[in-house]
Structure 1
Amino acid sequence: MVGPVLYQDRAMKQITFAPRNHLLTNTNTWTPDSQWLVFDVRPSGASFTGETIERVNIHTGEVEVIYRASQGAHVGVVTVHPKSEKYVFIHGPENPDETWHYDFHHRRGVIAEGGKVSNLDAMDITAPYTPGALRGGSHVHVFSPNGERVSFTYNDHVMHELDPALDLRNVGVAAPFGPVNVQKQHPREYSGSHWCVLV
């Protein structure tokens, strides 16, 4: 596959050459210094099976892996913080199985910074639920212009279990009022760095 092409001195310049997909999210893919573009490597079609989040230098073509998924998880849809080298993206479940695998209501946002990754949103699917935690999966995470909050879309696991028709796509905001610590009562529950609400 031909990689992204940029214009330089009125001439086009190819900057990626690997024979695979290089997918840009539709917003906030430039690093704050405007030297790098971030992308994921999901294959064509509807599958969500990319294993890395990467960036390419627009001048040199150098490609760096920001994050590599493990334990059967997959990642994608990366965006960049407006002021620092922080990246937020979708992370599918580790050790997926027949009852818990990647789906709209089984994914989370994670933030990568300085080689470390942390959960953005917490998830609690056991009543009475934890304030600030979600009950399902977040998607398309985008930092606010000042970098303090993150918007996302959302699907609810609890509603999906009641009836998939009730699991409507919603919009949420993650605010830096965490951490949100979940007292795990289900093996797939987890804590997160931000307080999340649906808006």
Structure 2
Amino acid sequence: MSESKVSTLTISAAGHTIHHNGVFSPDDEWIVFDGRNDDTKIGETSVIGMVHVHTGEERILYKTDHQTIYGPGVGAASFSPKENTVVFIHGLYDANEAEPYDMTRRFGLAIRTDKPMQGIHMDARDVMAPYTAGALRGGTHSHGWSGDGKLISFTYNDEFVDPDLRTVGVMVPSVGGVAVPKGKGNNNGALYSAIVSDVVREPKPGSDEISKAFDECWVGVHGSSKIAFQGNTRNDKGETITEIYTVAIDPATITKDTVAVGRMGERPHVPSGVQQQRLSRTSKGLSDLRHWLRSSPDGRYIYALAKDEQGRNQLVRCEVATGDFDYISSFDFSVSSPINISNSGDRATFVANNDVYVFDLESKGLDRLTANTPADLKVVGAPVFSRKDDKIAFNQFVDQHGTEYIQIKLVRVN
């Protein structure tokens, strides 16, 4: 495809970082972004905005109060697939130099696009024992809407116990939400939160135990009954490898176990009746390049990245019913970004060699959508398909009067 099909959508002198998934509004008219000009700076970022796909009009949806380099910080915003509502990471309101934004000190805030600045706390946070069922006491991150827009997945780090052990959790509907006592670090939540992945510090070699659960996706685009996530386990040699795990999600089972919230000195427990299952069993595991699992729309396959014999990142596919694991690409280059799958399920998009590509999952046809040269500034993050699959949004640095800003670009696809 020709370079003429690439357009720069945002032009204001600020960062415009898009999340790795779900950045298009349900009607495909808007793209949500945060104000980061550096992927690592959520704690310093104050703005969530959206830009109109056709006009380039930018609107601010949310802005933090009293933002400093220590927080509160916002970022990683994504649209519900069903409503004009976005969810994003928000650091604790009282962040300061002594207690700055941190992976254990954040929550999910939602904004309806017709009600800017009116934040809705999605997950409750209760740091005062005895803890409230349905609340957590750490930080939720990288929130992902289920295909029906009713549930939200996230990764979680506890503030008080094993803060370095990342887990995966979900938010499910709760009549009246979750109310917690008023206090420093506490907030109510519109949804009921629980951890759904079991982690241990030292997995037994050769077992299915994991020390980290992360970078998940919902299985299938229409329902909200299963999550796939990456888990760090140990092979028979004691080496850490990353495999694919799944966990069935039943909101009634999750909300029934009110003691899963845990007691002081404990991490939250996985509710009784919720059990993760190992899906893939490979020799080398998945790639160590940061990426999120992706599902086919029908829920049959999970897509990921894994290294080939030359150490290049290739696309792999794991069948949910059987665990069969196959390499589906054999590129002579290495994929260098997270991947996304089209809503129709037939294509993948990613970055390699500072260009955006589309790969046909069945014909194996490869299409380079951009024509960057070594002199062009860096493409960053993950390219994302629009809801209609007719365009792809991606981030690239653009020089504006001697300063480089992350801008949103669009490329049309057939």
Instruction: State the TM-score, normalized to the length of structure 1.
Output: 0.87
Distance 2:127 2:73 in 1: 21
Aligned residues: 187
Structure 1 residue matching 2:161: 3-state secondary structure: helix
Contact 1:28 1:79 in 2 (8 A): yes
**Other structure's SS at 1:17 match:** coil
Counterpart check, 1:180 vs 2:178: yes
Contact 1:93 1:100 in 2 (8 A): no
From the superposition, tell whether residues 50 and 131 of structure 1 become closer, same or farther in structure 2 (CA, over 3 Å). Answer: same
> Counterparts in 2 of 1:31-110, with a 5 A limit?
31-44=25-38, 46-48=40-42, 49-72=44-67, 73-110=72-109
In structure 2, the partner of 1:189 is 186
Over 3 Å counting, the alpha-carbon distance change for 1:99 and 1:182 in structure 2 is farther
Partners of 2:98 and 2:60 lie apart in 1 by 30
Q: Report the AA paired with residue 6 of structure 2.
A: M
Amino acid at match of 2:105: H
Over aligned residue pairs, what C-alpha RMSD do you find? 2.0
Whole-Å separation in 1 of the counterparts to 2:39 and 2:24? 24
Matching residue within 6, 24, 32 for 1:30: 24
Task: Say if 1:71 and 1:95, in contact at 8 Å, map to a contact too.
Answer: no
Structure 2 gap ranges (5+): 197-414
Whether 1:15 aligns to 2:6 is: no
Q: What amino acid maps onto 2:179 in structure 1?
A: N
Question: Gaps spanning 5+ residues in structure 1: where?
Answer: 1-6
Cα deviations by residue, 1:117-145 (Å, 9 ceiling, x for unpaired): 11111111222211000011100111110
Q: CA deviation at 1:45?
A: 5.0
Contact 1:105 1:157 in 2 (8 A): yes
Q: Is the alpha carbon distance of 1:45 and 1:27 closer, same or farther for their aligned partners in structure 2, counting shifts above 3 Å?
A: closer
Question: Is 1:37–1:58's contact at 8 Å kept on the other side of the alignment?
Answer: yes
Larger Rg belongs to: 2
% identity of equivalent residues: 35
For residues 110-167 of structure 1, what are the alpha-carbon distances to aligned partners after superposition, in whole Å with 9 as ceiling and x for unaligned? 111132211111111222211000011100111110000011111101215xxx5xx3
Q: Distance in 1 between matches of 2:97 and 2:48?
A: 26
| Runs of 4+ residues deviating >4 angstroms | none
Q: If each structure's strand is expressed as a fraction of its own residues, which one has the higher value? A: 2
Match of 1:144 in 2: 146
Query: Scaled by the length of structure 2, what TM-score is found?
Result: 0.43
